[in-house]
Amino acid sequence: MIRPAREGDLPAITEIYAHYVEHTTATWMLTAPDEDQWRTKIAGLTEAGLPFLVLDDELGLQGFAYLAPYRDRGGWVFTVEDTIYLREAATGRGYGRALLGALLDAADPATVREVVAMISGEVGGSVILHERLGFREVGRLAGVGTKFGRALDCIVMQRSLIP
């Protein structure tokens, strides 16, 4: 079941994301946000009319996805960036595709025209997921990230929501 995030989801969202911060290059954050930081993020995105969704199955919350402003300058007002994370054990079940698809469907076409994905060059599964949902690679930023003592590329993908 995919639904909007709520207060009771904060522990699971925090736990899922912390795994990626601590063990992977999927995110370049070095310190995982706590529940209060997630609460603030969800409230801000919801207030801005942007979706923050979670996916539950019989075992509980398995992942989350949201749209956030791409940049904080007025000229980017119709462009958002997507974020999606699944529990490690929940990958390969179609949950990523379901969450990202629901996220795109939840985007208000009056306020969202373009969706950008900024993907670590080491996360090929995310590139494939985005391609399957109509994103195309529009660029690669070489060596712009650093984590675990390694320089990392960023793959830039984009999908237009206007016909």
Work out the pLDDT band at 123, boundaries 50, 70, 90: confident
Is the pLDDT confidence value at 122 over 90? no
Is the pLDDT confidence value at 160 over 90? yes
Q: Which residues contact 27 (CB under 8 A, 6 or more apart)?
A: 17, 20, 21, 120
% of the chain exceeding 70 in pLDDT: 100
**126-145 average pLDDT score:** 97
Tens of pLDDT, residue by residue over 64-120, are 999 999 999 999 999 999 999 999 999 999 999 999 999 999 999 999 999 999 999
Is the pLDDT confidence value at 163 over 80? no
pLDDT of 77 reads 95
Hey, where are the domains in the chain?
2-160
Tens of pLDDT, residue by residue over 21-30, are 999 999 999 9
Question: Average pLDDT of the chain?
Answer: 96
CATH number of 2-160: 3.40.630.30
Whole-model pTM? Answer: 0.95
